[in-house]
Amino acid sequence: MRIHSNADASPAGPAGVWRWMFWAGFAVSAFLMVAASRGDLAIDEVISLEKAESAGTWVGLVTQNPNDNNHLLNTFFLRLLGRQKHLLVYRLPAVGFGIATLAALALTARRWGKTVPVWVVWLAGLSCPMILYSSEARGYAPAMFFAVASFEWLQRCRERCTWPGRLLFWALLCLGFLAHFSFGLFCVALGLWSVVHEKLAGISWPAVAVNVAKYYAVPALFIVGVYLVYIRHMIILGGQEYTRWEVAGAGAAYALGLADVPAGHWVGVLAAAVLVGWGILALLRQARDEWVFFIVLLVILPALVLVVHPRFLYFRYFLVAFPFFYLLVAMMFARWFREGGSILKLVPVLLVVAITAGHLVKVDALLRFGRGNYRRALADMAAATTGPVIRVGSDSDFRNATLLNFYARFLPPGKKVDYIPQDKRNQDPPDWMIVNCLDPAFPAYPDLEVGRIGKYNLFGVYPFGGLSGWSWFVYWRPSSAASPANRPPASKTAGI
C-alpha cells in the first residue's frame, strides 16, 4: 500500500489562526443552511411531500406512480415526519446532511494537508449550490453526504479492512443511490479508481477483480434491484429544457459563484477547466492515483452525459461531484498559499474572497425571497376575495394548480380555492390570474390580456431568490369579486 506524506504538515502561520478560520467558516455555513431552510416549499418539494402523504403503505412509496421527482430516501423521511404545520421541519433532514457533508469533507481533506480543511470549508460551505440544496427537502444533500463519506471510508478500509467496515461501505453506497440516482456517477468514478489503485499495487487482473468485487458486488446487485423494481418503470415528469452548453455553463457558473448569464457561462467553464486540469496534473506529478477518480467524476462522466443529453437535464444532476471539485481546488489553493512568495500568497486568498462574494450575492437573494412566496400570495388573494371561494386561473395548470392545492391547507376556515383550468376559463372566467416567471429579474406587466375574458390588473408581485422555484405575478379582474383595496399593504413587495 502506497503511503503519501502530508506535504502540508507545517502550515505557515499560527495553528490557532487556521483553527479559528475553520470553525468560523463552518459555523457561518451551518447558519446559512438553517436560514435558507425557511420559507415556502418549491414545487419539487411539494410533489415529493404529496407522494409521501398519499401512498397507502411504505411499499407504495416505491410501487405507486414511480417518477423522477420521487427521491426515495427523501420521500421516506417525509413520510416519517408526517403532516407538519411548520414547513421548515420537512427540510431538517437535508440541513443535517448538508452540515454532515461539510464535516466529512473537512475530515477527508486532512489527508491532503492540515490547512486544506480550512480552504475547503470556505469554498464548499459558502457556495450557493451547497447551501441551497442542503436546505431543500430533496435527495441532493444526502447524496452528497454519502458520496463524501464513501470516499473517505474507502480509504480507511484500504488502511485496515474489517467486515463491519466493509458492511458500512456497502450501506453508504446503497443509501447514496437511494438518495438520488445521479449517485451512480460517483459509484462509477469510485469503482474505476479502485481498479487502478489495486492494479498499481502490482497484483494480477484476477486478483484485482476479486478485491474490487469485495467492495462493489453487493452495492451493484442492490442498484440492479432498484433498476428492475423502480427505475425501468419511472415516468419523467418533465420541466424546463436546456441545451448542452446551458447545462455545462450553468453548472460551472454556479460552482464558482458567477452570474448565470452567457458571459458567466464562458468564464465559468474556462475557469473550471483550468482549475480541474491544474489539480489533476498536480496529482499526476505527485504520483497520487486519485487523479483517476477526479478525472472520471469531474470530466469524463459529465462529458458523456452531455453527449447523450437526455431531454430534461439540469446541472443539479451533477451536484454529487461538487464537493470533490471544491476538495481538488482547496488542495491546490492550500499548496499555492504554502509555497508562494509573500505576494503570490495573496492570489488564492483573493480568489476565495471573490468566489465567496459571488456565492453570497445569490445566497442573499435566497434568504430574502426563498423559493417563492406562494402561501403569502394565496393569503393575500383570500383577504381580497369577498366570498368564501377564491377562483383562480393561471398560465400553467400543472405548476400553479399543484402549488395552489397544496397551500390551500393553510387558508383560514371558510376559504377555499377553486382552480379554473385553461380550457374552461373562457366559459367560467376566474377572478384571479397567476403568471409564473423563472427569471427573478423579469418585471411584471401592469396588466394582462386574457383571451376573450378581457383585461386583468396587476395585484402583486411575489418574488423568489432564483434557481429553485419561481416568481408569481398575481392579477385580478376588475369586474370580479376580487378587490385590491382589501389586500395587505406589503403585497407588491412580498418576501419571507
CB 433 within 8 A of CB 390: no
Q: What CA–CA distances, in Å, run from 229 to 29, 61, 222, 339?
A: 38, 12, 11, 53
User: Treating both helix axes as pointing N-terminal to C-terminal, what angle do 183-200 and 301-308 enclose, rounded to 10 degrees?
Assistant: 140
pLDDT value at residue 431:
94
Opening angle at CA 210, ends 112 and 214, nearest 5: 60
Rounded-to-integer distance, Cα 323 and Cα 45, Å: 23
CB 279 within 8 A of CB 331: yes
pTM tops 0.85, yes or no = yes
> Hey, what CATH topology would domain 374-493 get?
D-Maltodextrin-Binding Protein; domain 2 (3.40.190)
CB 373 within 8 A of CB 494: yes
Q: What CA–CA distances, in Å, run from 439 to 424, 466, 471?
A: 28, 7, 8
Q: SS3 for 203-247, per residue? A: CCHHHHHHHHHHHHHHHHHHHHHHHHHCHHHCECCCCCCCCHHHH
Q: How many CB atoms lie under 10 A from the CB of residue 232?
A: 9
Rounded-to-integer distance, Cα 457 and Cα 121, Å: 48
Domain ranges of the chain: 15-369, 374-493
pLDDT value at residue 481:
66
pLDDT value at residue 482:
67
pLDDT value at residue 5:
42
Segment-wise mean pLDDT, segments of 10 residues, the chain, 496 residues? 45 74 97 97 96 90 90 96 94 98 97 95 97 97 98 95 95 98 98 96 94 97 96 90 95 97 97 97 95 98 94 94 98 92 89 97 97 96 93 95 96 95 93 95 93 92 94 90 59 39
Q: What CA–CA distances, in Å, run from 495 to 342, 377, 459?
A: 46, 10, 15
Rounded-to-integer distance, Cα 353 and Cα 116, Å: 16
> Do you know the residue count of the chain?
496
